[in-house]
Amino acid sequence: MRSRLIILWRKLTRVKALTPLIVFIRYFAGTNMFNTVLDFWERNISHTSYAETQGFMDVHSSRIKRIMQGLEDEKSVEVYGKIWKYRASHDRGCLKGIVDQHQYFDRELIHLGNRETFVDCGAYKGDTVKAFLDCLADRNQFELIAALEPDPYNFRQLEKTVKRINEKRIECYNLGSWDKKEKLRFRSNTEEGCMVTEEGDLVIEADSIDSIIGNRPVSFIKMDVEGAELKSLMGAERVIKENSPRLAISIYHSDRDMVEIPEYIMKKYPFYRIYIRHYTWFYADTVLYAIPGAEALKRGERK
């Protein structure tokens, strides 16, 4: 149920005609009435274990603190800290003031230039492909979009979306992103998300970004791959080292991802400036942005 609400919310926020309604919903989402209803549902119906998160935080408090010290701006520190408080309490008041718009293409952080090559890992039905194109001043700004989607149903919808866009520079891959070429068991559920798991109901093909992209330049990588982000980052090591692309990585799928993904990027790629933003009034859609230092400095950010 919660995942269905998240998918519906993502669709609504991309319809420009619904902007007044979205503004009202964002306002209502901050009210006590909304918080009371949703908190009751999460605590008593969804059975999400916020106690486990509190235990995780207690054990890994020093790691969480180091990550906060490595974040680039005060807003990121605030968002990261409040998300942890929310995950450990399901108190929606923790999210007040930190829910943003324009997921993956945050206008404070992402400024697209010319000759963009966008790799969309977890392309779903093409929603992020369309959002990327909407951010461009004109279609001549990009050279390639590589869209990866392992779920067969979603992939068919992705192909239909790309066909309607009618753009030959968009390549669709019925693959999952991973650290190497491998067949994986995959749980497919078109409404409640898909994920790699040993109990999966189908077998999918997966491969690394390094292998799929080859020697082509990359300027931007987005990942929302249901908990496979760290493996996917490992499979993009050469592309990242050679191109320093902007990264927009979902880190909300588990408490471990909230720690291990920032740690991995900070340690392996110290040239990145790291930011955290959040986009729903739920647990979902916390995104880590990694912006190359040179690009950040061009925008007048601190050294």
Average pLDDT score over residue span 124-128: 95
Q: Which band of pLDDT confidence, cut at 50, 70 and 90, is reported for residue 51? A: confident
| Three-state helix/strand/coil letters over 137-159 | CCHHHEEEEEEECCCHHHHHHHH
Is residue 73 predicted with pLDDT exceeding 50? yes
Eight-state DSSP code of residue 99: B
Instruction: Please choose, from the candidates 285, 278, 256, the residue with its C-alpha nearest in 3D space to the C-alpha of residue 82.
Output: 278
Half-sphere exposure of 152 (CA within 13 A, CB side): 8
CA dihedral 205, 208, 213, 219 (to 10 degrees): 130
Domain boundaries, the chain: 2-95, 116-250
Strand 176-177's sheet: what is its strand order? 176-177, 202-207, 182-187, 195-196
- 144 pairs with which residues across the strands? 117
Domain 116-250: CATH superfamily is Vaccinia Virus protein VP39 (3.40.50.150)
Neighbours of 65 (CB within 10 A): 11
Is residue 80 predicted with pLDDT exceeding 50? yes
Round to whole Å and give the CA distance between 236 and 206.
13
DSSP secondary structure of 22-73: HHHHHHHHTSHHHHHHHHHHIIIII---HHHHHHHHHHTHHHHHHHHHH-SS
Give pLDDT tens digits for 17-37: 666 666 666 655 555 555 566
The pTM score is 0.84
Is residue 180 predicted with pLDDT exceeding 70? yes
Buried (b) or exposed (e) across 19-30, using 16+ Cβ within 10 A? Answer: eeebeeeeeebe
Position 1 scores a pLDDT of 40
Average pLDDT score over residue span 192-204: 63
Position 283 scores a pLDDT of 84
Residue 125 makes CB contacts below 8 A (sequence gap 6+) with: 149, 154, 157, 158, 161
What is the CA angle 1-82-73, rounded to 5?
125
